[in-house]
Amino acid sequence: MDEEQIAKFKLIELAEKLGRLETFLPIFRKILADIGRTTDRVGFSAAWKGINPMLNLCGISIRKSPERITSWENLEWLEVLKRAYFRSCNQVICMAPHCTECGECGSKLADGHTCEHKDIPDEYSN
């Protein structure tokens, strides 16, 4: 597919998903209006299990952001080695962002820093 075909596909998908969302919107509004009573009665997990299939029909996916790792004890040993080797600061638990290409501390990919790719040796890769 060329860029034009991909854009056409995405616009058609958007139109279909918006149509499904419009169909389900009154149902979602009712569910959300009653969510307090529902969760009191059946709990949050059961309420979510009831709502999630409808969201999937609309092409809506809700994910929880991954929790930030604040202790090296929460990492597998291989990940500890990778971070120590790959990051320019060589800190396993460093809260600053690190470029995914070069490991430079305090940088993000494509932020304009001079990125020198650093290959991870085979013994540190999965």
- 30-79 pLDDT, tens digit each: 988 888 888 888 999 998 998 899 888 888 888 888 777 767 677 788 88
d(CA 106, CA 26): 45
**Percent of the chain residues past pLDDT 70, beyond the cut:** 89
Inter-residue contact 104 to 98 (CB < 8 Å): yes
Q: Please check whether residue 21 is in contact with residue 58, taking contact to mean a CB–CB distance below 8 angstroms.
A: yes
CA atoms within 13 Å, Cβ hemisphere of 50: 13
Q: Is the pTM of this model over 0.85?
A: no
Cα dist from 56 to 45, 48, 60, 123, whole Å: 16, 12, 5, 40
